[in-house]
Structure 1
Amino acid sequence: MEGFEFSLAKSVSLRADADGFFLISRTPIKILRLNESLYNLLKHIRDGGELAAFHTTHPQDTMKVLLTLVARGYLKLERTAPLTEYPFVSVIIPVRDQPDNLIECLKALEKVCYPGDRLEIIVVDDGSKKDVSQIVTSSNVKIIRNEASQGAAACRNTGAENAKGDILAFLDADCVAGEGWLEEPVPFFLHAGVGAAGGYIDGYDIKTPLEKYEKVFSSLNMGKQLIIEGKTESGFYVPTANLLVSREAFKAAEGFKEGMEVGEDVDFCWRLRDRGYTLIYTPSGNVAHKHRNKLGRMLKRRSEYGTSESLLYRTHRDKKKGFPAAIFSGLSFIALTLAMLLMNPYPLCALPLLYGINVWLKANTLKKYKIELSLVQLAASALRSHLSFYYFAFFHLMRYYLIIIIGLGVVWHPFWIWGGAGIIYTSITDYAVKKPQLFYAVFLFYYLLEHLAYQVGVFWGCIKYGYFGSYLISFKKV
């Protein structure tokens, strides 16, 4: 754990009393009961102590706990450990007919901060029209050629079979790695024992409106919040455009499933986690991806992602789409829906009642744990809970059922009003959070088309693979 630095997140505090040990967040309101050893570690962190000075018998497990607290918003990761030892890394790049992209990708790798004698680069040419060996002349790049195309998954497996590295670093040919691409995620393998790690994927050379949209809303962009998961039912994964995997974990997961044209990264990450390995996403270790700049190509790809869902959920029956089980927020959403669909204001009368009950319950919980908050803070917390649930509910409905809602509106026009409210609410929320460099109307245009393309793909995938698990959700207590 030496070299890592954590701090308590803003508005988070520790408390110990006769009732036990607690980690308390005031914004949002969350309370976590701790055992004494974890409390002592967090107290040590709060007081500015170095992790190296805190004795623990299982440092990697302890590090995973701390990173989980970062992911849940209780801690802030201030600094990762600088590398003092460098595991051998094999960079694996599958490519087919992208000579210019490949050359730029390889040039960027020359600037990556990692010792050259601890690094190898393997390019797997998937039957390109022009042999990659005629383009790449560097002796530091190992080239493997498939005479006929076998697909990206097979290329990655071929690269892994011929790699010497302790860590396999997968990169796409249309990506440009930043200088810290390797040295930033590698410490998580050494100190936290993760099986795989993914980093931030930014947009490259953003010019057109579509590229500006893709920069913030591409499925490759996993956001700015650290995520860590082991063997759970969540659908968390990281894209292969920026994925590092330990050799041991790669072998245990049996590599990528060949023949999958889309979703092979999701399938691989789920199998890796099912075998007990930890997967982490950290908003560092950046690469820049050259997004699709043609609307038709982007929508086709989104539809293909949707189509892959059914096969993935049919294969991994334990994986579920998590949905917050917030009772009073959910009831208020139902009341709002009824008011709009029935064109009747009376269901809205339930909103202040449900909101008031939510505030009262939060106040009782805080009183039980002897936490003091003003009525304004309590009211704001309850309002955030309701608005967050509205976003999750509307986003799910717009993502999977917008076409059905439009169709129902032909029979009963209020469905159009309700669906329109959902699109406006979710799009404004995403626009405010993601801050695209676009006019809202342009963002909304792409946003609508993407949702429609994705759900067409989902429905087609369910028919194609004979499994409608894409529409199943699992409620999670919040």
Structure 2
Amino acid sequence: MKPPTALLPPGFTVELNRTVTVRDQGRSLVGGSPTRAIYLSRAAASMFAGRRLAVDRAGSGALVDKLLEIGMADPVLDTLPAADESDVTYVVPTYGRPQSLDRLLASIGPHKSVIVVDDASPDPSEARRIAAAAGARFIALPKNLGPAGARNAGLRLVHTTYVVFVDNDMVVTDGAVATLLRHFVDPRVALVAPRVIGLQLSTRVNWISRYEDARSSLDLGPTPATVRPRARVSWVSTAFVVARVEALGAGFNDGMRVGEDVDLVWTLVEQGWRVRYEPAATSAHEHRVTLSDWAKRKAFYGTGGHALALRHPGNIAPAILAPWSVGVIVALLAQRAWSVPLALGISAVAAVRISRKLSRHEHPLRIGIKLTATGVAASLSQTMALLTRHWWPIAVLGSIVSRRVRQATIAAAVLDVVLDYRRTKPQLDIVRFGIARRADDLAYGAGLWLGALRGHSTAALRPDIRGRR
């Protein structure tokens, strides 16, 4: 279903996010996700109050909408009106784990509309008892459908405007749903997700749990974002989300047992809906802390790449590179005396060519250099990920026969750990963090390759090299 054509309401206010640099007396904006430069008319630039822009005059609504779409601005949360929490139904898919279900329902609280969908557990009686004690409606499926099918079974029984999907290994924190609901004042918002943090359980603390607290696959960081393919935040987990029921249609793809959340998000975006990530709201997840369970889950996530590549060609690419940035990477990987000068030369040419497209800006070359530097940094980061995560089987084989491949792979593996350790500041020493980081990538990469081999396709493994900037 396509979103309504309704405009953003008067008073809706956004603020340029930290990625954006303002130049030329407010007429040039450089940033967003992915990074770009836009040029405003004097009238448009005059609508801003500092870095904020409100929908309060002709044309401002269209500009606000554009800034949201390209990831340059985010809604100012405390200016958004509160929503009616009574117009929400919770759908809880569950399979076993009755103690976790009991904990979740207690965190949701009393007097809420809750549907518990048992996905053909071997013995659903305990889940039925717990749901009844919490005042929740209980549905037992005759056969196991997986998370997508179980959520859809619950969705078909929802009669409220909004639905909260929440897995039974989650805990709903106070105020999270109310915070997420604020975003639905934007009529194009279909789904909003909170930040997922680790559930603190004193009996389950070890080096894996400390790594997950800092580097969980579900934790998308402290910065709000518009969620869309190829952006800084390109997906959100549906372990806990609030969604507009009319936007979901039939819901998740029943045939997907992994990656169904990514598929839903990308389908909504393709239809014209907006998806938001709001870290001001948090929810807690019970991480896997035994090495075998943790590694299997990481590999399981990786196997979903093949199906996503078939349903959303290009969006799952492990790297997105411009031809000139490929030249820079190849030059640096060659590790010759001429590598750095050649890489600098290619970057300089790219900066000049980009600046020629920015003639309306007062300092086109300066902006061109910034965009090029950002592109080089992103390309280096993606190359490190290719060597240590997506293409590690190739990197290992290459390291056996090539000293340069071996040096590049080792450098990428070490530098990635150092940078990530500084960024995440885990409650863990760097050695064990590094071991967990590399094991994380090895497991995910193994799952990615397994999915590709099963599907007889390399679509999820191929980088996307695009000529247009």
Normalized against structure 1, the TM-score is what?
A: 0.82
Which residue number in structure 2 is paired with residue 464 of structure 1? 454
How many residue pairs get aligned? The number is 452
Alpha-carbon distance between aligned partners in 2 of 1:190 and 1:274, rounded to the nearest angstrom = 21
Which residue number in structure 1 is paired with residue 22 of structure 2? 13
Q: Kindly provide the amino acid, as one letter, of the partner of residue 337 in structure 1.
A: L
Alpha-carbon distance between aligned partners in 1 of 2:313 and 2:353, rounded to the nearest angstrom = 36
Which residue number in structure 1 is paired with residue 404 of structure 2? 414
Residue of structure 2 aligned with 1:179, choices 159, 174, 182: 174
Q: What aligned pairs does 1:414-433 form with structure 2 within 5 A after superposition?
A: 414-433=404-423
Q: Kindly provide the amino acid, as one letter, of the partner of residue 54 in structure 1.
A: R
Q: Is the 8 A contact 1:5 1:79 kept in 2?
A: no
Which residue number in structure 2 is paired with residue 240 of structure 1? 238
Q: Is the 8 A contact 1:6 1:79 kept in 2?
A: no
* Unmatched tracts of structure 1, length 5 or more: none
Is the partner of 2:189 in helix, strand or coil? coil
Q: Compute the displacement of 1:83 (Å).
A: 0.9
Q: Compute the displacement of 1:420 (Å).
A: 0.4
Is the partner of 1:237 in helix, strand or coil? coil
Alpha-carbon distance between aligned partners in 2 of 1:264 and 1:472, rounded to the nearest angstrom = 21
Distance 1:64 1:241, change over 3 A: farther
Is the partner of 1:408 in helix, strand or coil? helix
Q: Compute the displacement of 1:411 (Å).
A: 2.1
44-53 or 391-400: bigger deviation: 44-53
Alpha-carbon distance between aligned partners in 2 of 1:218 and 1:224, rounded to the nearest angstrom = 13
Is the partner of 2:409 in helix, strand or coil? helix
Is the partner of 1:124 in helix, strand or coil? strand
Distance 1:153 1:386, change over 3 A: closer
Q: What aligned pairs does 1:102-113 form with structure 2 within 5 A after superposition?
A: 102-110=101-109
Is the partner of 1:83 in helix, strand or coil? coil
Which residue number in structure 2 is paired with residue 145 of structure 1? 140
CA RMSD of aligned residues (A): 3.5
Residue of structure 1 aligned with 2:199, choices 197, 201, 204: 204
Q: Kindly provide the amino acid, as one letter, of the partner of residue 308 in structure 2.
A: L
Q: Compute the displacement of 1:437 (Å).
A: 1.9
Q: Confirm or deny that 1:473 pairs with 2:427.
A: no
Q: What aligned pairs does 1:37-436 form with structure 2 within 5 A after superposition?
A: 40=44, 43-46=46-49, 51=54, 53-55=56-58, 63-68=64-69, 71-72=71-72, 77=76, 79-83=78-82, 85=84, 88-110=87-109, 116=111, 119-128=112-121, 129-131=123-125, 132-138=127-133, 140-205=135-200, 207-229=205-227, 236-251=234-249, 254-317=250-313, 319-321=315-317, 323-325=319-321, 329-339=325-335, 344-354=336-346, 369-371=361-363, 385-436=375-426
Deviations 1:101-123 (CA, angstroms, capped at 9, x unpaired): 11111111128xxxx5xx41111
Deviations 1:351-373 (CA, angstroms, capped at 9, x unpaired): 45446556777888889722499
Normalized against structure 2, the TM-score is what?
A: 0.84
Distance 1:101 1:331, change over 3 A: same
Is the partner of 2:37 in helix, strand or coil? strand
Alpha-carbon distance between aligned partners in 1 of 2:235 and 2:419, rounded to the nearest angstrom = 24
Q: Confirm or deny that 1:31 pairs with 2:37.
A: yes
Q: Compute the displacement of 1:277 (Å).
A: 2.2
Q: Compute the displacement of 1:285 (Å).
A: 2.6
Is the partner of 1:164 in helix, strand or coil? coil
Alpha-carbon distance between aligned partners in 1 of 2:221 and 2:105, rounded to the nearest angstrom = 26
Distance 1:30 1:154, change over 3 A: closer
Q: Is the 8 A contact 2:74 2:225 kept in 1?
A: no
Alpha-carbon distance between aligned partners in 1 of 2:433 and 2:68, rounded to the nearest angstrom = 34
Distance 1:222 1:80, change over 3 A: farther
Q: Kindly provide the amino acid, as one letter, of the partner of residue 21 in structure 2.
A: V
Deviations 1:69-91 (CA, angstroms, capped at 9, x unpaired): 5x33x667463413155571111
* Unmatched tracts of structure 2, length 5 or more: 1-8
Alpha-carbon distance between aligned partners in 1 of 2:265 and 2:447, rounded to the nearest angstrom = 22
Distance 1:56 1:29, change over 3 A: closer
Which residue number in structure 2 is paired with residue 22 of structure 1? 28
Q: Compute the displacement of 1:431 (Å).
A: 1.9
Distance 1:275 1:87, change over 3 A: farther
